[in-house]
Amino acid sequence: MEQKPNWSNKTIFTGDNLPVMRGMNSESVDLIYLDPPFNSKRDYAAQIGSKAVGAEFKDTWTLDDIDVEWINLIEQSQPALHRVLLAATSNSDKSYIVYMAVRLLEMHRVLKPTGSIYLHCDPTMGHYLKLMLDSVFGRKNFRNEIVWHYTGGGRSKSYFSKKHDLVFWYSVSHEQCTFNIDQIRVPYRESSGYAKSGIRHKNGKKYLPNPKGTPVDDVWAIPIINPMAKERTGYPTQKPLALLDRIIKASSNPGDVVFDPFCGCATTLVAADDLDRRWVGVDISPKAAELVVSRIEDRQGLFREIIHRTDIPKRSDLGKLPPAASPSNRKTLYGEQGGSCAGCQEHFQPQHLEVDHIIARTNGGTDHLQNLQLLCGHCNRIKGDRGMEYLRVKLGLS
């Protein structure tokens, strides 16, 4: 059942997108676009003197960058994703896959049945990302691999010049999916005879060209941002507004909710605002919140009551759940765990075990039974609101 968003329109969150997404209502978003890190083994920083100065991020991954408990979650409940993880050829690739996998699971949950996700990547990790999307959204819900082709920059003499990115489009449902092909038609080629006079079928019926142009295909020739362009912020991985304009027009309608969980310099949010969509974004850097305000003001000449939050939204779609430590939860968990502490694995009488949130509520965890476990008092004090991997290390179990 589709839910109302539990945040206000035009909201940007600063922080890790995983706990923010865990706090978002299920089936509350119509369209997700994300341009995540690519595991490029590079560090990025905005140019000094640019609007985005101060924005920086690393795109080099190690196992220290992930919560190892995420691996346990994937292994226990997502066998298809776990097989992708086993295919990783290095610890860097493995850590990147784990980082993205737990986030893609949340993105699938928050999308409406008619919703779509567009994941922007390059060939570095594109093969792994497509396998993850197949696992989370289902192969039958793969719609297109869009090739964004651009020119400019240097030319290699050692290999074919790398002048494209990939955008994977998946829908939640194969049967129902928002797609507005007439909103993104492009002009016919000047050399096209069909564009000038149409064509006549052998049965005598004449087909005239569509005044809006021809349907766009899956290779998009959209220029990169000109160094002198007004929209340029200096953000190191900024994408052109024309690219997001096409995606948003194609897979959402006015009033729909557009979400970017890695919003960077806020191009998705600016494009959504221009097209009268509701929007929400998350970025780890506070600079994104500054940029979305300044860019929308620059384009529209007025302040648009943008909301900046650093907390985690509280889900309102869960209905009335029993308290985490309710007798019914304790009885069920005691049976599932066989009377053993989920930390030290020692057996205890029920009265000596305490209900613990696997993912702390401060990190977006809920009171759902699937997020609860029983720990002995000693283990619960050690763990606190940290992950289970911390507890295992302290107990010498890792």
Collapsing DSSP to helix, strand or coil, 200 comes out as strand
Gap between the Cα atoms of 385 and 360, Å rounded:
5
Q: What is the pLDDT of residue 195?
A: 65
Q: What is the pLDDT of residue 53?
A: 47
Q: What is the pLDDT of residues 22-51, one digit of tens each?
A: 999 999 999 999 999 865 455 534 444 445
Q: What is the pLDDT of residue 259?
A: 98
Q: Are residues 345 and 283 in the same domain?
A: no
Strand pairing class (353-357; 372-376)? antiparallel
Domain stops at, among 275, 309, 343: 309
Q: Are residues 241 and 369 in the same domain?
A: no
Residue 55, pLDDT > 60, answer no
pLDDT band at 222 (very low <50, low <70, confident <90, very high): very high
- Find where tokens 């691999």 sit: 145
Q: What is the pLDDT of residue 57?
A: 47
Domain stops at, among 309, 338, 358: 309
Q: Are residues 286 and 372 in the same domain?
A: no
pLDDT band at 194 (very low <50, low <70, confident <90, very high): low
Q: Are residues 372 and 228 in the same domain?
A: no
Average pLDDT of the chain is: 86
Domain that holds residue 267: 11-184+222-309
pLDDT band at 61 (very low <50, low <70, confident <90, very high): low
- Please give the average per-residue pLDDT across 241-246, as a whole number: 96
Higher pLDDT, 298 or 106: 106
In the chain, pLDDT over 90 holds for what percent of residues? 52
Q: Are residues 152 and 78 in the same domain?
A: yes
Q: Are residues 229 and 378 in the same domain?
A: no
Q: Are residues 371 and 265 in the same domain?
A: no
Q: What is the pLDDT of residues 345-384, one digit of tens each?
A: 999 999 999 999 988 888 778 888 888 999 999 999 999 9
Domain contains 80:
yes
Q: Are residues 151 and 287 in the same domain?
A: yes
Q: What is the pLDDT of residue 355?
A: 97
Q: Are residues 259 and 359 in the same domain?
A: no
Q: What is the pLDDT of residue 49?
A: 45
CB neighbours (10 Å) of residue 210? Answer: 13
Q: What is the pLDDT of residue 107?
A: 97
102 Cβ partners below 8 Å, 6+ apart?
18, 70, 73, 74
Higher pLDDT, 83 or 65: 83
User: What is the separation of C-alpha 50 from the centre of its chain, rounded to a whole number of angstroms?
Assistant: 27
Q: Are residues 346 and 229 in the same domain?
A: no
Reference 275, options 260, 254, 259; nearest CA is 254
- Please give the average per-residue pLDDT across 321-328, as a whole number: 92
Q: Are residues 300 and 345 in the same domain?
A: no
Domain stops at, among 252, 274, 309: 309
Higher pLDDT, 256 or 162: 256
Residue 59, pLDDT > 60, answer no
Structure tokens at 309: 């939050």
Reference 94, options 124, 63, 119; nearest CA is 63
pLDDT band at 339 (very low <50, low <70, confident <90, very high): very high
pLDDT band at 66 (very low <50, low <70, confident <90, very high): low
- Please give the average per-residue pLDDT across 252-280, as a whole number: 94
Write the CATH number for 337: 1.10.30.50
> Number of structural domains, the chain?
2
Residue type, 317: D
Q: What is the pLDDT of residue 43?
A: 53
- Please give the average per-residue pLDDT across 300-328, as a whole number: 85
Domain contains 212:
no
Q: Are residues 340 and 373 in the same domain?
A: yes
Structure tokens at 383: 């763990």
pTM for this prediction: 0.84
